[in-house]
A and B are shown apart, each in its own frame.
Chain A
Amino acid sequence: MPSLARVISTHLFICLAFWPLFSAADSFVSQIRQANVIYTGSHFHIQTQIDYQLSPTAKEALHKGIPLTWRVRIQIRKIGKLWDSTLSEQSLPYRLRFHALLNQYEVLKPDKENEMFLTLNAALGFMSSLQDSNPVSADLLRSNQRYKLAIKCQFDRESLPVPLRPFAYLDSQWFLSSDWYLWPIQK
């Protein structure tokens, strides 16, 4: 019994120790290239540039008619002594879909409007610029307080077909979300 426990614990330790290496072997995560906060006196307008990447599996799924959805999450966080608190959050969903008949790519924007593109790059390029984001009211922020703008482009695995979801959590081909990107902002 002790020897079995030792073997299991050893294997578990090896898996956990080398997990980052396995997961980072082929990285297809999105990246937030830049973010601009434009203060207009009453509101903060946020602009970002996102680089979407598709893994071969994701690309194949897209061309097989499976729509892919990303959610651009934008948060304004108040910097605290121990932890940060979220003042406002908005989630902007972008859905990319391939129309086999028309051989075009459709992007469904957060405002539910769709755009058709002849190429995948055109569709991804369209998605890279943040659109339809709500400006953040300046009243939320105080002048003597420090804040952070946090942006993350999160791939929505739950929008995938049910049979694909468990594997999307385990397969690095489906690790398409970006990390949180943080920028300090001040009123």
Chain B
Amino acid sequence: MAYSKIKLPASASILTLFGFILLSLQLMSSSTQESSELSEMHSWLLVINTLGSITLLILVVVNAYSLVRELKKKEAGSRLTTRMVSLFVLLALAPAAIVFYFSVQFLHQGIDSWFNVEIDRAMDDALELSQSSLAQRMNWHIKQTRQIAERLADKSDTLMALEIGSLWAESGAMEIAAFSSQGLILASSSANPSVILPHLPDEQIWLQLRQNKEYFAFDPGDNDDMMARIILPIGRDQSRYLQVLYPIPIRVSDLADSIEFAFIRYQEMTFLRSSLKTSFSLILLLVLLLSLLAAIWVAFISIRNIVAPVKELVKGTQAVADGDYKQQLPVMNQDDLGFLVESFNQMTKRIARSRDETRIAGLEVENQRAYLETILANLTAGVISFDASFNIRTANQAAYRILHVPVSHFVSQSLSTLASKHSELADVLEAIQHLLENADDIWEQRIVFLGPNGRQELLCRGTPLFLQDGSRMGAVVVFDDVTDLIQAQKNAAWGEVARRLAHEIKNPLTPIQLSAERLQHKLAKELPEPSAEFLQRGTRTIVQQVEAMKRMVDDFAEYARPSKKHVGKLNLIDLIQEVLALYQPSGIAFQSSFASRRVIVEADPVSIRQVLHNLIKNAQEATTEKCLVHIKINKAVRNNTDYVEMGIYDNGSGLHGDQIETIFEPYVTSKAKGTGLGLAIVKKIVEEHGGVIWVDTSYNAGAGFVIQLPVFEFGNSE
């Protein structure tokens, strides 16, 4: 927060930068003027501006390199930035380059226009004129001086000192002096009375004097004026010298200075001609570079700022495309892009809210579906739903348990397909299919079929499903295996019959029998022989039939009465072998195949023996020729429970279709003798032990019964 307070706005920073650049360029421009005080700082300003240009160039290169990397990585907004920067650079560079080219051209032409041959010649001529004028004046002064020297030639030093004053006055010189070759002043006279010592020649003049014997030159005067210095030997021996200083008129001196200044200035400009061009071009280039690079750098920053919301938008869009609806982008500016970003944020918010609502609704639906599935799965009744084409949509676990067919594996397939794969269910499935197709309302029907565990009876209820517009959308069929229920009802009915028989029939039998025996006892002795014998036969018949009826009623009562069992663990194989041993003398051929020699079951051994006896007797009675009984013991798993499966097969006449359905009911028999309770009792015992018995319909060589009993331990295979 504090940082944002002290942070300068980008526009202020940019304005400051441009202010510095303008100031620096102005200073550099001013420093090119020789008269400017800044001229001393020219080199430094040049260096500073060059360093500034290099710094800006580095910044631009770094930005460009960064942009190229972003472009290679295909980062969001990089292409737009590149396009905008390229456009800006082109738009800025093209006019700047044109302006620079023509500026340089004008500059060079302008500088060249300062110089021409006429001015050159005029300047040379002016200088030469000045020099000629001065030379002429100098020659005249030399001649004057030479005359003075000749007049002093034969004078002694003393006379010379006396005469030199008049000579000075005649000559009009500024100063006149005579000195020896050793530099001793012999005589002097000056226009300035304050000057005690004359202007003696320095070492350089002495050096020339010794070389050339004479010296004449223009020297600068004391007051920025000019004077002519002429030194000539006095006489021939060169032991004395005469120095005369002639003043140059101020007007002549000023004109000469002016001409010299102009000439020198022009010469200097001529010398600096190429340097000027190059220097000004360099400064112009520096100005161009500095301005252009600064503009490009600022363009990079500005364009990045402009593109930043677009970049964020692209990233946000990508995130939304990837399923992240929580994207909220920062609103940087309240402009069009800011409005776009705000709209994007609102859009993502709404999408996220809708997504959440949809997800919640979906979860609820899923929960409901799972709940329904759980309920359906745990229903004891089988439930199969169908679509409008009567193809299976769903089937619960109970359907598999009841039909013994994985119905759920046939989803999206018709019942006909299921029937073709499982022919044992063909009848029931075709019946259901028929009902589904033809029923317009709820229907209920019992369907009997032979399942793998024998006869099964299903109570089916079908409900057609309709849409709101009345069109059929499918159907649902609920069915339950009521075989056991029906059987229990039958058993209960038979028990009631047995109880009534015992009460209504057996009770009168004893008086009948006693009455018959009393008749026999009372009348046997009184009746004649034939009549007595007739009576005896009649009463014996009555007693025998009564006994037979008593046994029949007892048997039936025995069947109907819940038996008392002594359940314990026993090895079924040992029990079977014990029973089979009893039948060895009877001539029955037994064939046994046991998957294990140790099959422990929890059962009443007496009841299981009775089961085996009944089944073997049935086999024996059903066989007219050599009786062959095959007993198989295998392990079976049903509903995650281990069972021992005992199959007993004979080579008798077998069972017919009608018989199979009722074979386990009481008083159902195909034999002339027999009560018809044998198999009914067998079934009762097996069911009392938690097992099942059914007719193996796949066996055609005789009758085949399969019994499944829960097994406690099934030993390893032999």
Contact = CB atoms under 8 A, between A and B. Distances in A.
Interface string B32-63: 11100001101100100000000000000000
A24 interface: no
Nearest to B264: A65
A126 B271 contact: no
Contact of B219 (A116, A122, A167): A116
B31 A100 contact: no
Contact of B279 (A104, A115, A118, A166): A166
Contact of B271 (A60, A101, A102, A157): A60
Contact of B260 (A60, A61, A64, A99): A99
Contacts of A60: 271
Contacts of B134: 101-102
B625 to A, nearest CB: 105
A162 interface: yes
Interface in A56-96: 60-61, 63-66
Given A162-B32, A163-B280, A116 B217 contact: yes
Most buried by B among A61, A64, A126, A158: A64
B42 A165 contact: yes
Contact of A166 (B46, B202, B257, B271): B46
B204 A169 contact: no
Interface in B259-306: 259-260, 263-265, 267-268, 270-272, 275-276, 278-280, 282
Contacts of B263: 65, 100-101
Nearest to A63: B267
Given A1-B65, A162-B32, A163-B276, A64 B127 contact: no
B220 interface: yes
Contacts of A122: 204, 207
Contacts of B31: 162
A1 B71 CA distance: 14
A154 to B, nearest CB: 15
A114 interface: yes
Contact of A101 (B33, B34, B259): B259
A162 B208 CA distance: 37
Q: How large is the interface on B (under 10, 10 to 19, 20 to 34, 35 or more residues)?
A: 35 or more
Contact of B127 (A101, A158, A165): A101
B34 A116 contact: no
Which secondary structure dominates where chain A touches chain B? mixed
Given A100-B260, A102-B217, A114-B220, A65 B268 contact: yes
Contact of B43 (A66, A101, A117, A166): A166
Contacts of B280: 163
B43 A64 contact: no
Given A64-B267, A162-B42, A101 B130 contact: yes
B259 A164 contact: no
Interface string B171-211: 00000000000000000000000000000001010011000
- Interface range on chain A: under 10, 10 to 19, 20 to 34, or 35 or more? 20 to 34
B84 to A, nearest CB: 22
Interface string A1-15: 100000000000000
Interface in B204-251: 204, 207-208, 217-220
A158 B217 contact: no
B256 interface: yes
Contacts of B207: 122
Most interface-central of B130, B134, B220 (chain A CB within 10 A): B220
B131 interface: yes
Nearest to A117: B204
B275 A164 contact: yes
A162 B217 contact: no
B217 A104 contact: yes
A20 interface: no
Given A102-B218, A114-B220, A115-B204, A169 B43 contact: yes
A186 to B, nearest CB: 34
B220 A164 contact: no
A68 to B, nearest CB: 12
Contacts of B275: 161, 163-164, 167
A121 to B, nearest CB: 11
A122 B34 CA distance: 30
Interface string B679-691: 0000000000000
A185 to B, nearest CB: 30
B204 A100 contact: no
Nearest to A57: B271
Interface of B: 31-34, 39-40, 42-43, 46, 65, 68, 127, 130-131, 134, 202, 204, 207-208, 217-220, 256-257, 259-260, 263-265, 267-268, 270-272, 275-276, 278-280, 282
6 contacts: A64-B268, A65-B271, A114-B220, A163-B275, A163-B276, A166-B46
The 4 closest A-B pairs by CB, nearest first: A65-B264, A101-B260, A64-B271, A163-B279
Given A158-B43, A167-B275, 11 more contacts: A65-B263, A99-B260, A101-B263, A102-B260, A116-B217, A116-B219, A118-B204, A162-B32, A164-B279, A165-B42, A169-B43
